[in-house]
Structure 1
Amino acid sequence: MTSHNPKALKSNYNIEEIRRDFPIFEQQIHGKPLTFLDSGASAQKPRQVIERLSHYYSCEYSNIHRGVYYLSQLGTQLYEEARGRLKNFINAPDDKEIIFVRGATEAINLVAATWGRQNLGPGDEIILSRMEHHSNIVPWQMVRDEKDFVIQVAPIDDKGNFLFDEYEKLLSEKTKLVAITHISNSLGTITPIKEIIRAAHKVGALVLVDGCQAIPHTRVDVQDLDADFYAFSGHKMYGPTGVGVLWGRKELLDAMPPYQGGGDMIRSVTFEKTTYNDLPHKFEAGTPHIAGGIGLGAAVDYMENLGFDLIEDHEQKLLAYARERLAEVKGLRLVGQADHMAGILSFTMENAHPHDIGTILDQEGIAIRAGHHCAQPVMDFFDVPATARASLGLYNTFEDIDRLVAGLDKVNRIFG
């Protein structure tokens, strides 16, 4: 048993009170307390978000932006207030730069299909990293196959560190865009994002950041980062599914063509010509996920009220404890041990497939992810078909880590 004593860690972070905010922890799974270690895929929802959604649907619901009656005007006000919350949350210069989308996948597809088709062609290059999620690879491949530009891949080392010097060598006057993760979903690596952006800008390239794994764990300031686009999903930051944000510099968004056509993205329509609406509506065709946007605003309020410094401190202490405890598990190999990490732990075990690990842990009430995590190039790099992944959220405890280790000991007992 490790000598680390989690009880000795002093903090203003009241984890018992926080866990009471999440109704899902009031139940048992297979007769065991729920140990949820899959927040990297989707985080659980606090009561404050659930109740906000329920209240909107129960008392405030209407379609927005076009109605002259009270409920429509109220819904419009609530939705646009949520947009303002997101603007402040990431310190965007203008709430018109906050584009509500279904999630980061749609955000990246939007940029690829509009800015990419408009600006990329033969002789151009973009740079991705070896750690990218499929949603930051496939959209660029689809446009590449149409526009015939080159995709370069920035490498990592065998610990999962981003190799900045090698990345710099790829940059040239041909580089038009760097599309890069802020925190790897499969390894937990925190990339040196400000330095990556600064180097890209030196050669005149734009930078799109996939911020899905960063936005729940650390303070994001798009002006301080000096990014050009930043994408994230609501469901990973304790908000509803089916809603997310694309932030982009206003001058870039203004110059990009619409992504989809339909209601709300138009100013006027005739059979001869359509005039498009101003930002942000130009990119928000059709009835939006109104409740999702309002619920996402409530999720922002929840995290802000807890305090990001405390969230980050709590999760880093959990991560350190988890790495200590997992080192005690026989035959366990951590896949990715970067110098700077967030609360994501991918691993393999000598005698058990990741899917078997996940199945056995489930019987103990422990939820982890098993598979390639939509990051097959990372799996290929480490020469593994899949990993088991435990990912931390603001509600996790040291006891959760102890239960995970006990469950993995059971895996070893079963598979020898």
Structure 2
Amino acid sequence: MSTATITSTALSQHHETAQQLPRASRPLAAVTGAELQAPLIQGGHIRYANLDYGASAPALTVVSAYLNEILPYYASVHRGAGYASQISTSVYENARNIVRDFVGGRPDDSVIFTRNTTDSLNLLAGCLPVTDGKHTDEVLYLDIEHHANLLPWQGVPTEALLPRKPCRRP
């Protein structure tokens, strides 16, 4: 089964399912775990509303369906010669093309996958170009940034950092 076949099958199944749902439940239904019921102290259950999206968010159902479809082919990427490894490597590399197309990248642009946003920011902070000992790019940040977003920039010379103060409300 090709990567394109797996992707198109998962997307079409998701679209068909979403169209069968009542309009009010479609946004929640697109998220894995939307039907989760939480127990109430006084007894009974209520539909759970996950408001903790800071470090993790539930997967979209189309993503969950796709992962379930390719899970039997899961194997080492770029390190195996077997059938499953070849499929996993193909899916992994095709994901780069999908992301590149999604963000409007050029064919010669690189897409780098990292473990998380903090890892990405650390990588980016270490990759800014330096000319004559000074960074040639500038970084704009807000005073309300999460701590994990501020730490990577501590090693960057202050002339490259452009703090933006919050707007004052009347």
Normalising by the residue count of structure 1, what TM-score does the alignment of the two structures yield? 0.30
Residue 78 of structure 1, CA deviation: 0.7
Q: Secondary structure at the match of 1:100?
A: coil
- Does the Cα contact within 8 Å between 2:32 and 2:64 map onto a contact in 1? no
What RMSD in Å do the two structures reach over aligned CA positions? Answer: 3.0
**Map of 1:92 onto structure 2:** 105
Partners in 2 of 1:120 and 1:94 — Cα distance?
Answer: 31
The aligned counterpart of 1:304 is none
Q: 1:35 aligns with which of 46, 49, 67?
A: 49
Aligned to 2:166: 156
SS at match of 2:128: helix
Q: Which residue of 2 aligns with 1:55?
A: 69
After the TM superposition, which residues 88-237 of structure 1 pair with which residues of structure 2 at under 5 Å, given as runs? 88-94=101-107, 96-115=109-128, 118-119=130-131, 121=133, 127-141=140-154, 143-144=155-156, 149-150=158-159, 151-159=161-169
One of 28, 31, 37 as aligned partner of 1:19? 28
Contact (CA 8 Å) 2:36, 2:47: kept in 1 or not? yes
Matched residues, percent identical?
28
Higher RCO (C-alpha 8 Å, min separation 6): 1
Q: Secondary structure at the residue paired with 1:107?
A: helix
Instruction: Using the TM superposition, give the Cα deviation of residue 123 of structure 1 relative to its aligned residue in structure 2, in angstroms.
Output: 9.4
* 1:77 maps to 2:87: no
Unaligned runs of 5+ in 1: 1-12, 160-416
User: Residue 141 of structure 2: SS of its match in structure 1?
Assistant: strand
Q: For structure 2, which runs of at least 5 residues remain unmatched after alignment?
A: 1-21, 40-44
Aligned partners of 1:121 and 1:149 also within 8 Å: no
Matched, 1:45 2:59: yes
The one-letter code of the counterpart of 2:92 is: Y
Structure 2 residue identity aligned to 1:108: L
* Equivalent position amino acid for 1:29 in 2: A
What is the identity, as a one-letter code, of the residue corresponding to 1:98? V
| Partner amino acid, structure 2, of 1:153 | P
* Superposed displacement of residue 40, structure 1: 5.1
